[in-house]
Amino acid sequence: MKIAPLHAELERRGVSQILLHTGQHYDENMSKVFFDDLGMPQPDIYLGIGSGSHAEQTAKVMVEFEKVCMENKPSMVIVVGDVNSTVACCMVCAKLWIPSAHVEAGLRSFDRRMPEEINRLLTDAIADLLLTPSPDGDENLRNEGVAEERIHRVGNIMIDSLFNNLEKSKQSTILTDLGLEKGEYAALTLHRPSNVDEKEPFVRILEALETIGARLPIVFPVHPRTAKQAEKFGLTERLESIPNIVLIGPAGYLDFVALMADAKFVLTDSGGLQEETTALGIPCITLRENTERPITVTEGTNVVVGSDTQAIVDAASDVFETGGKAGRIPDLWDGHTAERIADIIQDRIGS
């Protein structure tokens, strides 16, 4: 979702590109279908990294991506987000003296227990261009001593994808297929290690869902990791018996946008959904202790409640009683971020 608008904009400008998919996200419904939904071409290069520990994934990407860089000698490499592939590719660039740009730079949760936080810190320490989505990103980088000329606030590219595909998502039949009414259900995503890799927080969240489900349907596209952990902890039956729970497989991008856009509220531990719900004005209840996207709280529709059962239930009750937290769309979340990034990249490559 973060690459699609930029790839299209650079292509429109005639900039030669190689689209590389590391294969870190390898489930077809969590990868291939997104290329199709976003109208992207199939990757020019697919590394097929697959699953593994953080060290295994990072090392595999570095070994294979170095070969790609040595063969193709790119003028610049663009990395996005905060996954293992992001930091792995950026480290290869730093060693080979290839300029790199990090889209979604500067975000910080200030929680180094999160693997993504380590990826963010390391990537921003070595990338040449740091393309931030919001003022807090700029400030975080300055506080870390980053030179001003490396920092460029460009806006949120996730919102480009959202706005570009919002109309198209209305063609989705997912609500009809699931027998749902607009505004009469909640959407849920849950996959973070802090929530599903230990039984206690997982159980606390399930307890909250049991209470919330008694009031309205909850649509839950189950992440493979979450399904695996529920089985491991003996929680599968309890998950399936939550009142009004609608369990489905991982949803494609357009189907999930349709689900999110018409939900009464969203429960999530995802970063991107905090941003998308803010852009759509949908109340968001974030099942985490912190967020690297604080602008969704200070300006948007997001409330951060952790895995505490009562806090989750109280936040949902607030939506039922008052409509939930109101917000506004932050500056530069206007659907034109890809154009601003392309300007910066063309200027840097040209020079």
Same domain, 318 and 259: yes
Residue 267: strand, helix, or coil: strand
Half-sphere exposure of 50 (CA within 13 A, CB side): 2
Same domain, 315 and 186: yes
> Is residue 160 a contact partner of residue 337, using CB atoms and an 8 Å limit?
yes
CA dihedral (175, 177, 180, 186) positive or negative: negative
| 21 has catalytic annotation | no
Q: Give this prediction's pTM.
A: 0.94
The Cβ of residue 323 has, within 10 Å, a number of other Cβ atoms equal to 11
Same domain, 149 and 13: yes
Residues in the chain: 351
Q: What is the pLDDT of residue 25?
A: 66
Q: What is the pLDDT of residue 30?
A: 55
The Cβ of residue 26 has, within 10 Å, a number of other Cβ atoms equal to 16
> Is residue 89 a contact partner of residue 61, using CB atoms and an 8 Å limit?
yes
Residue 132: strand, helix, or coil: strand
> Is residue 282 a contact partner of residue 301, using CB atoms and an 8 Å limit?
yes
Q: What is the pLDDT of residue 285?
A: 98
Same domain, 185 and 237: yes
Residue 327 lies in a domain: no
Q: Check which CATH number belongs to the domain holding 40 and give it.
A: 3.40.50.2000
The Cβ of residue 11 has, within 10 Å, a number of other Cβ atoms equal to 14
Same domain, 345 and 297: no
Tally of structural domains, the chain: 2
Cβ burial of 28 (10 Å; 0-12, 13-18, 19+) is exposed
Tokens 């290869």 sit on residue: 92
Same domain, 303 and 337: no
CA dihedral (104, 144, 293, 91) positive or negative: positive
Residue 230 lies in a domain: yes
Residue 303 lies in a domain: yes
Residue 164 lies in a domain: no
Alpha helices in 80-198 (DSSP H): 84-96, 115-126, 135-143, 157-169, 174-178, 193-196
Query: Residue 22: which domain range?
Result: 4-155+333-350
Same domain, 42 and 121: yes
Q: What is the pLDDT of residue 34?
A: 83
Please report the beta strands in 227-345, taking only residues with DSSP state E, as ranges in sequence order: 245-248, 265-268, 284-286, 302-304
Task: Look at residues 85, 90, 97, 156 and name the one whose alpha carbon lies nearest to residue 123.
Answer: 90
Same domain, 318 and 187: yes
Residue 75 lies in a domain: yes
Residue 188 lies in a domain: yes
Same domain, 147 and 262: no
Name the token pair of 221: 């596209």
Q: What is the pLDDT of residue 341?
A: 98
Same domain, 305 and 339: no
CA–CA separation, 340 and 153 (whole Å): 9
- CA–CA distances in Å: residue 72 to residues 16, 60, 66: 12, 19, 10
- What pLDDT tens digit does each residue of the chain (351 aa) get? 999 999 999 999 999 999 999 987 666 555 677 888 999 999 999 999 988 899 999 999 999 999 999 999 999 999 999 999 999 999 999 999 999 999 999 999 999 999 999 999 999 999 999 999 999 999 999 999 999 999 999 999 999 999 999 999 999 999 999 999 999 999 999 999 999 999 999 999 999 999 999 999 999 999 999 999 999 999 999 999 999 999 999 899 999 999 999 999 999 999 999 999 999 999 999 999 999 999 999 999 999 999 999 999 999 999 999 999 999 999 999 999 999 999 999 999 986
Name, in order, each residue with C-beta under 8 angstroms of 317's C-beta and a sequence gap of 6 or more. Answer: none
> Is residue 298 a contact partner of residue 304, using CB atoms and an 8 Å limit?
no
Same domain, 136 and 189: no
Same domain, 181 and 295: yes
CA–CA separation, 284 and 329 (whole Å): 14
Residue 251 lies in a domain: yes
Active-site pick, 21, 102, 191, 223: 191
Residue 34 lies in a domain: yes
